[in-house]
Amino acid sequence: MQRWYLRLWYKDLLAEKMKRIFTYFLILALFFGACTPRQALFRQNLDYAYIPATTIAYDYLADKDSLQVFLKFADEGLFKDLPQNQLKLLYTISLSYERPDIIRRDSVRQFGKRLRFKNNFAYVDFKLPTAGITLPSVLQLQIPQHVAEDEYLWLDIPLRRDVLAKKLLLTDANTGLPLFRAYVNTSETFKIKSSAPINSVQLKQYETDFPAALPPFSLSQKKVSPTLNLIRTSQIPVGENIKLDQEGLFVLDAGESSTSIISVANEYPELTTARELIEPLIYMTSSEERKKLYEATEPKKALDRFWLDIANQNQELAKRLIKEYYQRVKEANIFFSSHKDGWLTDRGMLYIILGKPTVVNRRLDAEEWTYINRRQGGATYKFIFIKKPNTFTQNHYELIRRPEYEFVWYSTVEKWRKGTILEE
């Protein structure tokens, strides 16, 4: 009788203990679930990053024990009518995009008071302590927004050794804010800000002649020199007004840290001259067609005739096609300019012809673009871009080309050439 009682008592004790353990892990799971994004980081749709009205640009400047992060929100309405207690910028640092291995979780102090509004955009900067950060990792920012269907946007910033070693920042000469772009205009004045105790940096100009991207199905490789020819060097001051009045690729070298910038024509990212407007047509024309446009007595009028022929002499349609095509070229220059014009890059090529991707997913060294064509029963096309090491930029991605892309490429180009692309 006594043994039976002891067995029953032990069984109840074990059940109670298991219940406590289960409750503990349930509470733990609920806590981390509340603080972690609903999806793995690489499965979050970041398509808003490639929409001019909603994009979030960032830059950073490293110091001894911190990283100063600068954010520019194209849509100042993100924070419209948000109560002060909801103006919080939460962040996590994870070891990877694929797994929720969070090594730090915190918030930006007094985000609402730091937030500033300037010329139709919002701006904020804060310092992130870098002690104890494992590299590589990813900084993920949880950004509040005043949109009913989703409470937050997510911005990812890869953290690598080169990020924590960045000691130079290019700023607008008038506002003092970061440029937030990879180019300056030849008539533009800017300044260099440095977190290192230096008075000047070495300016290096390189010779550039980059070809346009190959079609997404092409497996051949254009021969590109592994090194670029150095044209000239000079010393330029830190903290004073600077102007790069020659077009080209420039590197500002401070020894342990450097940054690059391309100097481009005054209207860039828009293209204005006849030659500039003809060049991006490489993605939808033959070499013979472009040769005729270049050699025309009046290239601008020849270009107009080209678009009128596509539009079957419908002037209104021709205007709409021109506006759409060159708006995409402009946006490609804004989003993808690196050591070369954005329209020349692999991502720029797809953006111009296929348009903005439906879904954008990101990993530490890759981007995945998904296009969903609802007019074709939800036909889905995926393109993967791999981040490639580059001396001049951290924004260089190359497309993994595949023969099966040939159909979607040529069928879309055909729609452009028939003037039906705007029907989608």
Chain segment 157-185, per-residue pLDDT in tens: 999 999 999 999 999 999 999 999 999 99
Domain boundary among 131, 159, 187: 159
Q: What is the mean pLDDT of residues 332-336?
A: 97
293 and 403 fall within a common domain: yes
Residue 260 has pLDDT above 90, yes or no: yes
Beta strands in 195-229 (DSSP E): 200-206
Over range 127-132, report the average pLDDT: 94
Q: Is the same domain home to 204 and 325?
A: no
Residue 377 has pLDDT above 80, yes or no: no
Helix axes 315-336, 346-354, angle to 10 degrees: 150
- My answer on whether 242 and 316 are in the same domain is no
Residue 35 confidence class, pLDDT cut points 50, 70, 90: very low
Any residues with CB less than 8 A from the CB of 193 and at least 6 apart, and which? 61, 168, 169, 170, 171, 238, 239
Question: Please, which pLDDT band fits residue 222 given cuts at 50, 70 and 90?
Answer: low
- Is residue 296 one of the residues assigned to a domain? yes
Whether residue 14 has pLDDT greater than 70: no
Q: List the beta strands (DSSP E) in 265-327.
A: none
In a domain, 404, yes or no: yes
Asked if residue 418 and residue 391 are part of one domain, the reply reads yes
Q: Are 254 and 324 members of one domain? A: no
Average pLDDT over residues 312-337: 97
**In a shared domain, residues 379 and 419:** yes
* AA letter at 186: T
Mean pLDDT of 60-87: 89
The pLDDT of residue 255 is 87
For residue 11, is it within any domain? no
CA 411 to chain centre: 27
pLDDT (mean) for 128-153:
83
**Rounded Cα gap, residues 299 and 312, in angstroms:** 20
198 and 285 both lie in a single domain: no
> 65 pLDDT exceeds 90?
yes
Query: Does 148 lie in the same domain as 185?
Result: no
Partners of 237 in the β-ladder: 200
Does 332 score more than 90 pLDDT? yes
Residues 187 and 206 in one domain: yes
pLDDT the model gives residue 22: 47
364 within some domain: yes
Look up residue 164 and give its two tokens.
């924590």
pLDDT given at position 99: 76
Q: Are residues 207 and 287 in the same domain?
A: no
The arithmetic mean of pLDDT across residues 304-309, rounded, is: 97
Q: Is the pLDDT of residue 147 over 70?
A: no
Helix axis angle for 405-417 and 346-354, nearest 10°, is 50
pLDDT confidence of residue 17: 52
d(CA 113, CA 108): 11
Whether the per-residue pLDDT at 226 is higher than 80: the answer is no
Count of domains in the chain?
Answer: 3
Q: Name the residue with higher pLDDT: 290 or 227.
A: 290
The answer as to whether 34 is a domain residue is no
In a domain, 35, yes or no: no
Report percent pLDDT > 70 for the chain. Answer: 86
Instruction: Answer yes or no: do 322 and 343 share one domain.
Output: yes
In angstroms, what CA-CA distances link 400 with 49, 183, 283, 397, 405?
21, 26, 18, 10, 10
pLDDT for the residue numbered 24: 42
Per-residue confidence at 3, pLDDT binned at 50, 70, 90? very low
User: Which pair of tokens denotes residue 205?
Assistant: 């100009």
Percent residues over pLDDT 90 in the chain: 71
Do residues 216 and 318 both lie within one domain? no
CATH number at residue 151: 2.60.40
**One-letter identity of residue 59:** D
> Among 2-6, 82-86, 199-203, 265-269, where is mean pLDDT lowest?
2-6
Look up residue 300 and give its amino acid. Answer: K
> CB–CB of 190/242 below 8 Å?
yes
Please say which residue of 102, 132, 159 terminates a domain.
159
Domain boundary, last residue among 159, 189, 208: 159
195 falls within a domain: yes
What's the domain range around 213? Answer: 168-264
Is 16 a member of any domain?
no
